[in-house]
Structure 1
Amino acid sequence: MTRTTQQSPLDRLPVWLLALLALALGGLLALALMATASGQVGLADSRLTNIVLPLAAAGCLIALSLYSPLAGFLAWIALAPYSQHIALDLRLGAGIPDLSLSRMLGAFLLLLVITRAALGRRKLRPLAWSDLAYALFLFGLVLSVPQTVYGKLEGLQTILDAYIVPFIALFVARQVVRNQRDLRWLTIVLVASGVAFSLLIIREQLTGEVLLYAREAARYSRSFQKVISLMGNAAPIGVTTAMVIPLGLTLLVQSLQADSSATPSRRLGQLALAAGLAICALG
Structure 2
Amino acid sequence: MNNKLQKQLLKRSKAAKLERLGKTVSFLALMLITVTVFAIIIFVASKGLSTFFSNHVNVIDFLTGKDWNPNVTNSKGQPEVGVLPMISGSFVVTVLSAILATPFAIGTAIFMTEISPHRGAKILQPVIELLVGIPSVVYGFIGLTVVVPAVRSIFGGSGFGILAGTFVLFVMILPTVTSMSVDALRSVPRYYREAALALGATQWQTIYKVVLRAATPGMLTAIVFGMARAFGEALAVQMVIGNAALLPHSLVSPASTLTSVLTTGIGNTVMGSLQNNALWSLALVLLVMSLIFNLVIRLIGRKGAMSK
| TM tier, smaller | under 0.3
Structure showing greater relative contact order (alpha-carbon pairs closer than 8 Å, 6 or more residues apart):
2
Task: Tell which structure's C-alpha radius of gyration is larger.
Answer: 2
TM-score normalised by length of structure 2: 0.24
Q: Which one has the bigger helix percentage?
A: 2
TM-score normalised by length of structure 1: 0.25
